[in-house]
Each structure stands twice: as structure tokens, then as C-alpha cells.
Structure 1
Amino acid sequence: MKHKITAWMTLFMVIVLAFSSLVHAEGEKKTVILGTSADYAPYEFHKTMDGVDTIVGFDIEIAKEIAKDMGAELVIKDTSFDALLPELTSGRVDFVISGMNPTEERRKSIDFSDSYYAAEQSVVVRKEDALKFNTFESLEGARIGVQKSSIQETIAKTIPGASVISLDKIPDLLMQLDSERVDAVLAEYPIAKTNMDEATMVITEAKPEAEVDAYAIGVRKGNEELLNHINATLTRLKENDQIQKFVDEASDLAAGRKSENLNTFQFFWKYRDYYAKGIQFTLLISALGVLFGFLLGLIIALLRMSGVKILKFLATAYIEIIRGTPMLVQLFIIHYSLAAFDIKFSPIQSGILTLSINSAAYLAEIFRAGIQGVDRGQLEAARSLGMTKSKAMRHIILPQAFKGVLPAIGNEFVVIIKESSIVSFIGVYDIMYQAQILRGSTFAPLNPLLVAALIYFILTFVLSKLLGVWERKLSASDNR
């Protein structure tokens, strides 16, 4: 028995060490971490370069120059635009470049560099509405699409009677325009020109009052050393007219992107490497989430059934709180809010931890129901034979309880695989993250999502069948 316990403890320690070392294989070289939202061509966007998915754009070229002047290696962290400030203030990234305006509201939480570029705002409409919305005043009462947390959102809210629809991604906004869910999209001219479908859309003559907006680089409050490095690099680039060169090169690179007429299976085969990478991350996070959730759920179930009131209260409170709050909120609290207490997890670790603690609350109730479903007389019989309560629970009660609740446990495991998609919000390269990358880089609004849905279905279907086989094997003895 001691050898078995030692083996299980060794396996558990190996898993814990592997978990703690994820995304921490850093070298000795100094690094500087850039936060960006790579869906904003030509500022920053994904493009396949020499067969490798690469984040490119003129913002990225500026960041490379900053890192070079600092003698550091640049690490790029891609996330949604409205998550950039939490990433920066929590210390997960060192600076932010993402076509960001230095508004007064943002200056309350972060510092900004000198401005490095300015672009005009533009209004994109469907071709048939070009005359209808040919002035900015004509947008009164219209449905306006803007990127969430952007200067365009602020401008749109000043339009009398306008209904403002805010989304994370520019391609999503243009898809809303194409499907007639919005009447116009407010975006910067380079962004609109690069991303819109010129066959069905047009940039109108309408001009917002704030026609030109400057962009700056964000750093954490009080980080004067980094801010001085950034300003020195920007001064050098502006003096040599390098930034405009970066803009022209990035615009040409972005203009080379074409919409492809592929069916769903052709799309999957062409971009299978993206999805293969996403499947690896999804399976890793789901498997570890299931493992830790299973162990934690069993412990919580036993605590809730214990005779110690404080332990029972804590276990009950845990279950009710976790089941009563959205998993996405739990993910953001773990990933961003705990950083204020200097508790920082990598995106993968945050994802695994969130899935584990969420799943544990549901599994605890499943285990409790299974244990209570076993005839109490069996525990009493085991005790009368001289077995301790813990041995009786381990050898008599738990095996029967586990067999009885296996279908419910299997259903929870299937749910975990599907709900693991939320980790894409914090920059984990799972299946949904890869689908969002492909939506922005290929102009395909539907195929990336259809492929992702098909992959999730295959994973959950196969798992369900395997669990069914296991369940039949365990119940074989009952049919003899």
C-alpha cells in the first residue's frame, strides 16, 4: 500500500511541477513584453510568413525598434483590445501599442509616450447607402458599429439618437455592416481601407469632427525609465521618417490579403496547422482542468459531508459561490485581479485553475449524491468487520458511488472541453483563439467558426463514446 501511495504522490508532484513550469521556460536574455490586439491592420495583424503565423504591422515594427534600443528581446502578447489596460496595469505586459488614443480617461490609469502617428477617421457604409450617409449629420439616429473601448466609440456616442454597437474585432463590425445589422462602421481610414470589402462597401464623405487622432504607447504609471526609452526611440524614428516607411510597408503587406472562396472542409485543410495547435492547447487545459477538478471536487464533497461544522460550512459556501457566478468572471478575477496582490499566473495556468475550481463545485455535488446513494448499511457492515471509516469509504463506498455517478461525471467532462473556449479571452492559443485569428486574417466570417464547432463536436463525441464504453465495463459485473 505504501508503494502505491508513493507512486501516486510522485505522479501528482510531476503533474504539479509541469503545471507550474508552463510558459515559464524563459532564457537569461532580457525581455520586454508588448501587449497588442492583432486585428487592426495595418497597425497590427496576423499573417502567415514562411509558413508560420506571425504578428506584423507598423506598430510591431516600432515595438521591435524600442526593444532593439533597449538591448532586449521583444515578446508579443496578443489579446482583445479592451483587455489591454488590465494586462498592463496588472504587470503582465510592459507596454501597449495597439492604435491607442491617449484619452484623459486612459491617462487616469496608465502613462503615455509622445504621439507617434495620426490618422483620419472615416465612415464605412454599404454601397447602396453611400448617398444616404454622405454627411456626418446624416448619421443621426443610425446604427453605428465601433470597436469597443476605442476613440470611435466615444465619437459615436456624441451622435444624436445613434444606436452604438460596440464589438472587439473590426472584421466582426464589417460583417455586421454586410448583414445589415448596422448602418455604418466608424473606423480609422487605414483600418477601413484595409479591411472592408470594396465590392460591397464604400468610405463616404462623412467626416467626424475629431478628424485626426494621435496615437501613443501606453506604460504603467510611474515607469519613467521605460517611458524615456520609448520616447527616445520614437524621436529617432520620427527624425529619420521611419514611421511613415513602416506604415507604407505594413499597408502594402495588409493589402495583399484576399478573401478566399473555400468550402468548410477546404478551409480546414488549408489552415489545419492553426487548428492542430489550438487542439493541443484545448486538450492540455481540459485534461488538467478535469484532473484537478476531480480531485478537488472529491475533497470538497467529503468536507461537506463531514461532521465538523466549519468544514461543512466552508465547503457549502465554496460550492454556492462558484456555481452562482459566471466562469468568465472567475477567469478574469484569477488572471487580472489577483495580480494586484502580486499573485500572477500565466494565461494557461489561469485557464487551468479556473476550469478546475469551477468544475470542482459541480463534481462535488455529483460525488455527494453518489455517496449518499450507497446503502448506509454497507458502511456499518464494514465498520463491524473492523475497518476504519476512511478505509471503508475508500474500498467500499467510493467505488460504488463512482460507478453510480459516472454518467454525470462524463457529462461534466464534456462540458469542460466546451467551456475551455473562454481561455481565448486571456490570450491562450486554443481552438477558439485560432478561429478568431483566421477570421481576421482571411476575411472569412463563418468558415473558421464552423471548423471550430466541428472540432469541438468531434472531441466531445469521442469522449462521450469512450466514457460509455468504460461505463459498460464497470457495470458488466452487475449483469452477471
Structure 2
Amino acid sequence: MRLSRVVTPVAAVLLATAVAACAPAEDEPEEQSGKSATADECAVADLPLVQAGRLTIGTDTPAYEPWFVDNDPTNGEGFESAVAYAIAEELGFSEDQVAWVTVPFNNSYKPGKKDFDFDINQISVNPEREKAVDFSDGYYSAAQAVIVLADSPAAQATSLADLAKFKIGAQTGTTSLTAIRDVIQPEQDPLVFQNTNNAKQAMLNGQVDAIIADLPTAFYISAAEIENSTLLGQFQYDGGEPEEFGLLFEQGNELLPCVNGAIAALQEDGTLAELEQKWLSDVVSVPELP
């Protein structure tokens, strides 16, 4: 448990931000995000919450491994569940003050009122989504990966160009689907599925030759869920840089600066790195696809 240092790391990060803002012009950093808050503004009693005294977090169902374990966000297991509880703790919430709600992936980034304080669900930060919602600073950077059956013709592909002649699918509304269209540019339109389970079944049924998912999800699918499957490789979307996953907020939510302070504290004290190593370390050996 990390409750003994709930207030201090966030307060320290926010105080440092405040000090930087008051520094002489020549000492100021080149860029300021504008999304900071004072430590006093992040007292639990003053936080703008959907439910008073309770942090409400959204995610989809099924909640897939390695992001969540046993489709149960409340157990604190899996990378995103663990990150969510670490952020809650930094903000000053105990485990029993955290509530989870189900939010379908495609609904999360639609404009309008939200019934959660933030959503955590491998949601990539991009300008189009930022027209309707706000995002926290990134808590994880992910590549895309290609899953194929080991004995299929697609398994012989050695590059993204080789994949273009095959039938490829991904979950609707995801960066994976956009990456198929923009990066792989297949000869035939990609197949679009409501969720990753449907995509997996489609590959087993021969409807698609390959499916695309973020790297940790793809690794788990291949290692634990689809027998005789393999990861052909990984590739980057968005100009060669890994995509950033961010917590999603209703646009204009004043909780965002406090959460950014919590994320910064977890980065500085090594907690995010430790959680990544614990839950996502297996993905580093997957080869890059040219």
C-alpha cells in the first residue's frame, strides 16, 4: 500500500509547477501546458467529482488482459486497474472510495456529459477525439501489433507491404483500425468488429487473415487466447512515434490538473515504470515490421 504518501508527491509536483510559474522570465521553461493546479485545489473535499467523496472510473466490458485481470477492474490487477488505483491513492482516495462504471469504448469519447470522473481503456490521445473530450498526460506508450495464425499464408509476410494483400480486421473506433487504413493500406477494406473477441473469432473462422491490436493486448491474445497463433511483429502509428494512452475526461473537467499532478508523481517515484514492468514486460521482444 502507498497510502502513507498520498498527499506529499502530488503536492510536491504541484508546488514545483507553481514555483516555476513565478520564476523570472529567463528561468521559465520553454513550454507551459496550462493544465496545472495548486496543492490546495487538489484536496479531496474540493475535487469536482461525479459523486461526492468517491472517485468514479469508467472502462469497457469485457476488460481485457493484460490491462485488467478476470474482467474485473475492481481487483487492482492488470496494468490499467493498478494504474487507476495508484492515481486514486495519490489523490487521497482509499480503495473503497473508488467506484467503477461500464463505458463502451466508442461511447467514451463522444461529446456530452459523463457519468465518470475519468475513463481508462487504452484510449489513444488524438486531435479528433480532443474536439469532444479532454485527455490527461500520457500514462503509457504503445505500438500496434499483427496477430496471425502460425500456419496461415499471412504468417509468411515479412513487412507491412506484404500484409496489404491479406484480409485484416480490428475493433471499431480504435487506433488499430485507423492504422490498418493509414499505414498498411490493404488492397481490400478492413473488416470492422464490435470488440476484440469478435475479431479473434473471425480469424479462427477464416474471415480475416490477420487482426491488429495494441501490442500488449496482441501479445496476450497470441500467448493465452488463440492456439497456434503468433505475433508477426509490431509497428508504429503516428509518424513513427508510439501512441500515447491518456485518461479521458468530460471536456472542461476541472479534475484534470489534479490527475496530471498524480500521474507526474507516479512517474517521478517510479511507480508507473514498476507497474509496466510487472504487467507488460513480455511485449518488448516482438520484432519491428518494416
CA shift at 1:172, angstroms? 2.1
C-alpha distance after superposition, 1:311-343 (max 9, x if no partner): xxxxxxxxxxxxxxxxxxxxxxxxxxxxxxxxx
Q: 1:183-198 alignment to 2 at 5 Å?
A: 183-196=209-222, 197=225
Q: Where does the alignment leave 5 or more consecutive residues of structure 1 unmatched?
A: 1-27, 253-480
Identity of aligned residues (%): 22
Q: Which residue of 1 aligns with 2:53?
A: 30
Hey, what does 1:217 align to over in structure 2? 247
Residue 262 of structure 2 is aligned to residue 233 of structure 1: yes
Give the partner amino acid of 2:250: R
Determine the C-alpha separation between the residues in 1 that align with 2:101 and 2:186: 38
* Partner residue in 1 for 2:122: 99
Q: Which has the higher contact order (CA 8 A, sep 6+)?
A: 2
Amino acid in structure 2 at the alignment position of 1:249 = K
Deviations, residues 403-448 of structure 1 (Å, cap 9, x unaligned): xxxxxxxxxxxxxxxxxxxxxxxxxxxxxxxxxxxxxxxxxxxxxx
CA spacing shift, 1:48–1:94, aligned 2, 3 Å: closer
What TM-score does the superposition give when structure 1 sets the normalisation length? Answer: 0.42
Query: 2:40 corresponds to which residue?
Result: none
TM-score, scaled to structure 2: 0.68
* Cα-to-partner distance string for 1:208-266 (whole Å, 9 max, x where unaligned): 5545211111111111x3111111111111112211322333359xxxxxxxxxxxxxx
Distance in structure 1 (CA, Å) of the matches to 2:70 and 2:80:
13
Amino acid in structure 2 at the alignment position of 1:250:
W
Cα shift at 1:167? 1.9
CA deviations over 1:74-117 (Å, ceiling 9, x no partner): 1111232112224x732211111111111111000011111111
What residue in structure 1 maps to residue 189 of structure 2? 163
Deviation of 1:149 (Å)? 0.8
For the residues of structure 1 that align with 2:187 and 2:271, how far apart are their CA atoms? 42
- Aligned match of 2:83: 62
Q: How far apart are 1:66 and its partner, in Å?
A: 2.4
Q: Which amino acid aligns with 2:231?
A: I
Report the CA distance between 1:185 and its aligned residue.
Answer: 0.6
Alignment partners' CA distance in 2, 1:153 and 1:48: 26
Local SS of the residue matching 1:113? strand
When residues 206 and 100 of structure 1 are mapped into structure 2, their CA distance, relative to the original with a 3 A threshold, is: closer
2:202 corresponds to 1:176: yes
CA distance in 2, matches of 1:140, 1:195: 22
Question: Does structure 1 residue 124 correspond to structure 2 residue 147?
Answer: yes
State how far apart, in whole Å, the 1-side matches of 2:148 and 2:264 are: 37
Measured in 2, the distance between the counterparts of 1:181 and 1:100 equals: 26
Provide the residue aligned with 1:205 in structure 2: 233
> Residue 161 of structure 2 aligns to a residue in which SS?
helix
Question: How far apart are residue 71 of structure 1 and its match?
Answer: 2.9
Residue pair 2:91, 2:262 contacting (<8 A) in 1 also: no
2:23: which partner in 1?
none
- Deviation readout 1:37-74 (Å, 9 max, x if unpaired): 2433212343579xxx8474221222212222333421
Contact 1:125 1:202 in 2 (8 A): yes
* Aligned residue identity for 1:207: F
Residues 141-183 of structure 1: per-residue CA shift (max 9 Å, x gap): 4221112111111111221423212223222211211111111
Name the one with the larger strand percent: 2
**Larger helix proportion of the pair:** 1
Q: Call closer, same or farther: CA 1:131–1:60 in 2, change over 3 Å.
A: closer
**Structure 1: which amino acid aligns with 2:102?**
D
Following TM superposition, by how much is the alpha carbon of 1:29 offset from its aligned partner in structure 2, in angstroms? Answer: 6.1
Q: Deviations over 1:439-462 (max 9, x none)?
A: xxxxxxxxxxxxxxxxxxxxxxxx
Which residues of structure 2 form unaligned runs of 5+? 1-50, 282-290
| SS of match in other structure, 1:166 | strand
Q: What amino acid sits opposite 1:199 in the alignment? A: E
- Pair 1:204–1:152, CA change in 2 (3 A): same
Equivalent residue pairs, number: 221
Which residue of the partner structure matches residue 47 of structure 2? none
